[in-house]
Amino acid sequence: MKDLYKILGVSEDANADVIKKAYRKLAKENHPDATGGDKKKTERFKEVNEAYTLLSDQQKRREYDRLRSAPVGADGMPEGFDPDAFAQVFGGGSGGAQAGGFGDLGDMFANLFGNAGPFTRGRGRGRAQARGADMVGDLEVTFKDAALGVRQTIRSGSGKSVNVNIPAGVESGARLRVPGQGAPAPKSGQPGDLYLDIVVRSDAHLRRTDDDVELALPLTLGEAVLGTHVDVPTLDGTVRLTVPPGTSSGAKLRLRGKGIKRPDGVRGDQLCHVEIVVPRLKPDDVESRRLVEELENRTKPPKPRGF
């Protein structure tokens, strides 16, 4: 069987926090947005997602561990392997259920064991049916739609318009399965499935970190010293942000509930990172230089360095 622990670079007795930390590190390193669409790293990103999908679920992890440690029979399968039990744990139904990032049970089984095993492309164990081909395509969504979720119209393999739900919080590299919307089947069989690889379009100002959204917020020296109100972009449109007097570079101003929408409906925050833009004085601008020096002398700011 495929070693999912090795994919994530963790030991077999790693706890949930260690697995989550390893996943986030690898997902960040191989995320299509960070790698410029490098195909190998995109595949690595999908592989990491698939491993985490299984190992983060306690029931699936227990069954995976049991199958890995079971003796292998003459047919190359773990002894005592029960396709129906496998279907119940990993998909909720025999042969045709959706199984997280792996697609259907046949995809999951082939991913773990390297072959289709007892799961056919038909709907039902041991009954191969005439079926249309599965189809794969890219689906580009905006940063906002990926963060908050959206219902989008696509064209299926048969040419029909189909509405699909893009779940909130989806990231580039995720794969959505749309059952029965692939290539039409010959004669009276079932159509194939349509798989959509999500591509999240970058935003001009906003960036994602876990469930939070981050924004670089440039301020003039006067705005930082005196305080001000700034209109900033968010996922919900423009919001007026209060900048307190005496705000320094590196400060994080938080907009609560303006981040990524989680599966439970709760949203992360937006963090606005302050960057003070210092004016460049002309060499012959004696008056401005005098005013800056006077400000230094009047305010007597504390020493900013600890060395």
pLDDT tens-digit readout, 84-138: 777 777 764 333 334 444 555 666 676 676 655 565 444 444 444 556 777 888 8
169 and 226, same domain (yes or no):
no
Domain boundary pick from 160, 176, 201: 201
- Does residue 235 form part of some domain? yes
287 and 216, same domain (yes or no):
yes
* Tens of pLDDT, residues 11-57: 999 999 999 999 889 988 887 777 777 788 888 888 888 888 889 88
* Tens of pLDDT, residues 236-278: 999 999 999 999 999 999 999 999 998 888 999 999 999 999 9
- Phi (first) and psi of residue 165, to 5 degrees: -95, 120
Question: Is residue 181 pLDDT above 90, yes or no?
Answer: no
166 and 211, same domain (yes or no):
no
Rounded to whole angstroms, how far apart are CA atoms 150 and 168? 7
- Best CA proximity match to 193, nearest among 102, 296, 62: 102
171 and 214, same domain (yes or no):
no
- Does residue 223 form part of some domain? yes
- Does residue 53 form part of some domain? no
- Does residue 155 form part of some domain? yes
Dihedral, 249, 254, 259, 263 alpha carbons, nearest 10: 130
Domain range for 175 is: 130-201
- Best CA proximity match to 196, nearest among 97, 103, 95: 103
Rounded to whole angstroms, how far apart are CA atoms 13 and 86? 22
Tell me the three state secondary structure of residue 294.
helix
Q: What share of the chain is helix, strand, coil (3-state, %, to 5)?
A: 30, 25, 45
- Does residue 151 form part of some domain? yes
DSSP β-ladder status, 175-178 and 194-200: antiparallel
According to DSSP, residue 57 is labeled S
First to last CA, the chain: 55
Instruction: Tell me how far CA of residue 39 lies from CA of 18, 48, 195, in angstroms.
Output: 27, 14, 18
Tell me how far apart the 2 most distant CA atoms of the chain are, in Å.
90
- Phi (first) and psi of residue 20, to 5 degrees: -65, -40
Q: What is the 3-state secondary structure (H, E, C) of 84-126?
A: HHHHHHHCCCCCCCECHHHCEHHHHHHHHHCCCCCCCCCCCCC
Q: How many domains are there within the chain?
A: 2
- For residue 166, the domain's CATH number is 2.60.260.20
Q: How many residues appear in the chain? A: 307
This prediction's pTM: 0.56
